[in-house]
């Protein structure tokens, strides 16, 4: 395996599954961006043939740390990331870099026809049809790791995950935890801090996706992700806020049957599912205690306090580069919020204004996608400067 984003939350959970099955999985390459200490420790334990740091200086530091470990070669930069994603020695690539930075290496894995375990939803959101065309062209095996999409995947007949009408599916019920601010008033949302936003009630995740969960943009990105993965449209998907995060999503069939996938909120379940598919392997996840849980709750999402879900649906409907712009503006706004430069409630404001101020262009090729991403980031940063006054 190559694990892109090895030092992150998904990367570490993936390595925990690898650790449990040394006879079945082995690590060929690990990648990170800047966290040298964490990466050096992982390289000492897993002894990969290749280790990549996206940051050149971090790569130099890592090479010094590993000077007494000659079997691990250190590479740097996006080229290194793409090289280990496409390496002929690898058959499975965990795509777990956060944000748009993951698109090029994930695409390299797709183009090389790997089994691609997709956690990096932003890559698919920003390039949609082009990404799926690349999968079809290369014959790559794309398996969803996002817990909701993995749940839907498990509830669909294998072989018909992109043919919902043929499979007799009426709609997808996409569950959402509602995040840490589910019951906050609009007024309270103006004063929440990054630390509060990153403290998810059920899941332990990286900072960016934690903030996305709090704004519900995570569900918006997942709505778009589901449309591409399962070849459907937002009107066939209904978001259900389910604060317990035990039902990871459901599929409703025309005969009235609703199949759900349940489990403890632990990413090792979908990760192990993708790694071993179609087999099952032990993942170290606590058994579900339904007696202790007692009951489940469901609510509709509130589009007034949490407008990001609507913005994502609009971006998908507009098509072309609109989802690229949505994603880039969100990344810029979330980064500004985490740095203390933007209030939480202004995240959707920045995204909406960025979308309104840029034209939607046809998504003809990946160069166009990267250009739209750069333009939207620059525009969002300008709008953030204006909001800060």
Binding site for ligand NDP (CB under 6 A): 5-11, 32-35, 54, 96-98, 101, 119-122, 146, 203, 205-209, 267
Which CB atom, from 138 or from 207, has the smaller least distance to ligand NDP?
Answer: 207
- Which residue of the chain is nearest ligand NDP when measured via CB? 8
The least CB distance from residue 6 to ligand NDP, in Å, is 6
**Half-sphere exposure of residue 127, counting CA atoms within 13 Å on the CB side?**
26
Beta strand spans in 33-168 (E):
50-53, 73-76, 92-95, 115-118, 141-144
The least CB distance from residue 254 to ligand NDP, in Å, is 30
Which CB atom, from 10 or from 251, has the smaller least distance to ligand NDP?
Answer: 10
The least CB distance from residue 121 to ligand NDP, in Å, is 5
d(CA 171, CA 232): 9
Give the 3-state secondary structure of residue 351. Answer: helix
The least CB distance from residue 205 to ligand NDP, in Å, is 3
d(CA 2, CA 83): 10
Which CB atom, from 6 or from 90, has the smaller least distance to ligand NDP?
Answer: 6
Which CB atom, from 321 or from 330, has the smaller least distance to ligand NDP?
Answer: 330
The least CB distance from residue 101 to ligand NDP, in Å, is 3
Strands 141-144 vs 169-176: parallel, antiparallel or unpaired: unpaired
Which CB atom, from 239 or from 252, has the smaller least distance to ligand NDP?
Answer: 239
Q: Which residue has the tokens 């994930």?
A: 106
Question: Residue 220: phi, psi to the nearest 5?
Answer: -65, -45
Q: Which residue has the tokens 């170290």?
A: 284
The least CB distance from residue 8 to ligand NDP, in Å, is 2
Q: Are 152 and 223 in contact (CB under 8 A)?
A: no
Q: b/e string for 322-351 if b means 16 or more Cβ within 10 A?
A: bbbbbbbbbbbbbbbbbeeebbbbbbbbbb
Which CB atom, from 148 or from 346, has the smaller least distance to ligand NDP?
Answer: 148
**Half-sphere exposure of residue 339, counting CA atoms within 13 Å on the CB side?**
10
Which CB atom, from 205 or from 251, has the smaller least distance to ligand NDP?
Answer: 205
The least CB distance from residue 120 to ligand NDP, in Å, is 4
């Amino acid at each position: 395996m190559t694990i892109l984003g090895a030092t992150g939350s998904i990367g570490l959970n993936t390595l925990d599954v690898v650790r449990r099955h040394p006879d079945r999985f082995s690590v060929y390459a690990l990648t990170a961006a800047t966290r040298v200490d964490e990466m050096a420790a992982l390289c000492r334990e897993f002894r990969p043939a290749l280790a990549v740091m996206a940051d050149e200086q971090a790569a130099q530091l890592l090479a010094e740390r590993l000077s007494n470990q000659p079997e691990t070669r250190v590479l740097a930069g996006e080229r290194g990331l793409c090289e280990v994603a496409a390496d002929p020695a690898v058959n499975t690539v965990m795509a777990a870099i956060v944000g748009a930075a993951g698109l090029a290496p994930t695409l390299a894995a797709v183009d090389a026809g790997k089994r691609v375990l997709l956690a990096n939803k932003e890559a698919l959101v920003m390039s949609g049809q082009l990404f799926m065309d690349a999968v079809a062209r290369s014959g790559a095996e794309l398996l969803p790791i996002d817990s909701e999409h993995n749940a839907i995947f498990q509830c669909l007949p294998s072989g018909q995950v992109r043919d919902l009408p043929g499979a007799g599916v009426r709609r997808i019920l996409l569950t959402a935890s509602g995040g840490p601010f589910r019951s906050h008033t609009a007024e309270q949302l103006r004063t929440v801090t990054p630390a509060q936003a990153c403290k998810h009630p059920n899941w332990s995740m990286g900072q960016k996706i934690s903030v996305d969960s709090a704004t519900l943009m995570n569900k918006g990105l997942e709505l778009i992700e589901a449309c591409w993965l399962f070849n459907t449209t937002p009107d066939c998907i209904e978001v259900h806020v389910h604060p317990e995060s035990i039902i990871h999503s459901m599929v409703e069939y025309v005969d009235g049957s609703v199949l759900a996938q349940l489990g403890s909120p632990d990413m090792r379940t979908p990760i192990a599912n993708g790694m071993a598919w179609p087999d099952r392997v032990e993942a170290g996840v606590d058994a579900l205690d339904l007696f202790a849980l007692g009951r489940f709750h469901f609510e509709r999402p509130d589009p007034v306090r949490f407008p990001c879900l609507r913005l994502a649906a609009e971006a998908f409907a507009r098509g072309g580069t609109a989802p690229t712009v949505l994603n880039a503006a969100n990344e810029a706004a979330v980064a500004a919020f985490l740095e203390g430069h933007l209030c939480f409630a202004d995240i959707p404001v920045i995204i909406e204004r960025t979308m309104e101020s840029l034209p939607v262009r046809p998504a003809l090729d990946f160069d166009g996608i990267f250009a739209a991403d750069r333009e939207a980031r620059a525009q969002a940063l300008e709008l953030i400067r204006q909001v800060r006054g």
